[in-house]
Amino acid sequence: MVRRLAWLGRACQGGLMDGIQHQRAHGRLQLRWGAKGLVDLFQASPMRALFPGAEPGEPATIAQVNVAGGLAGGDSADFELILEDHAQATLTAAAAEKIYRSLGPESRITTRVALGPGARLEWLPQEVILFDGAMLQRRHEFALGAGAELLLAEMLVFGRAARGEVFAHGQVFDSWRLRGPKGLLWADALAMAAADLAHPHRFNGAQAMATVLLAAEGAGAHLPALREIMPCTLLRPGLLLARALGDASDLRSQVAAAVPLLRAAAFGLPARLPRLWRC
């Protein structure tokens, strides 16, 4: 047995197994949510949706779950959410999404969200953690109907900071498109290699990046209060954006302060984080 294992190790190092086709996961989750709750659901492993009971005063909660624990190179996750007219929901995740080291292919995440007129969505997943060697391609498309409102918070963490891991190898492509009834409201794209993290004029050694966005009438009124927590600007009337680079734990604390502030001030909801963030 020892001789066989030794031969297998030499074969892997020598490239004799390079042609093996590894099994890949292609998850899909499609949701339609109405004013009275779930209308339609399709899910394909490893993507799942859970519906934990909402706390008093809270909208319904939709929790994304990746039962595989994360995505490896060549895996894909496709998520589609439709909120019907005047529907309300909070989208969160049961745990941080992990992007594992790739042997070559990218991990792909595609998200499409459509909000009907008067709908309101809080998009509050937990952070995405990029393991050293991860290769990620991620695309988000949000479409807002007339009078629809969106509060969004996202974090990318470069390396497993708690273990002292550095994101020394790998790359990320992260694309965002936000459209309203009259067309494009915001477009953003990040294309980076691991070497960019150390560059003084790029990421300057940052461990993480956080983004908070509020699309709602009167969003500009919350600019001074949000600016006390993290750097932000009013992109256009009704569209407030905050973004920061820095230490992963510091940024998580900033996001954890910004979300309760905005959901209370803009939506009249309790000034707290989703329950799953507090577990």
pLDDT at 185 over 70: yes
One-letter amino acid of 148: A
Structure confidence by residue, pLDDT tens digits, 137-159: 999 999 999 999 999 999 999 99
Where residue 220 falls (left for φ over 0; alpha for ψ -120 to 50; beta otherwise) is alpha
Confidence of residue 31 (pLDDT cuts 50, 70, 90): very high
DSSP letter for 17, please: T
**pLDDT reported for residue 24:** 67
H or E segment at 30? strand 26-34
Output 277 or 131, whichever has higher pLDDT: 131
46/44 Cα distance (integer angstroms): 6
pLDDT at 10 over 70: no
Only one residue has tokens 């209308």, namely 39
Strands 128-130 and 149-158: parallel
**pLDDT reported for residue 9:** 47
Structure confidence by residue, pLDDT tens digits, 39-77: 999 999 999 999 999 888 899 999 999 999 899 999 999
pLDDT at 32 over 80: yes
**pLDDT reported for residue 161:** 79
**pLDDT reported for residue 104:** 87
Structure confidence by residue, pLDDT tens digits, 238-278: 999 999 999 999 999 999 999 999 999 999 999 999 888 87
**pLDDT reported for residue 4:** 44
pLDDT at 123 over 50: yes
Q: Is the peptide bond before 46 cis (omega within 30 degrees of 0)?
A: yes
- Mean pLDDT over all residues of the chain? 91
**pLDDT reported for residue 25:** 78
| DSSP labels, 194-206 | GGGGG-TTTTTT-
**pLDDT reported for residue 275:** 86
Structure confidence by residue, pLDDT tens digits, 107-122: 999 999 999 999 999 9
Contact status, residue 48 vs residue 69, Cβ threshold 8 Å: no
Q: Is the dihedral of CA 7, 8, 9, 10 positive or negative?
A: positive
Contact status, residue 144 vs residue 113, Cβ threshold 8 Å: no
**pLDDT reported for residue 177:** 99
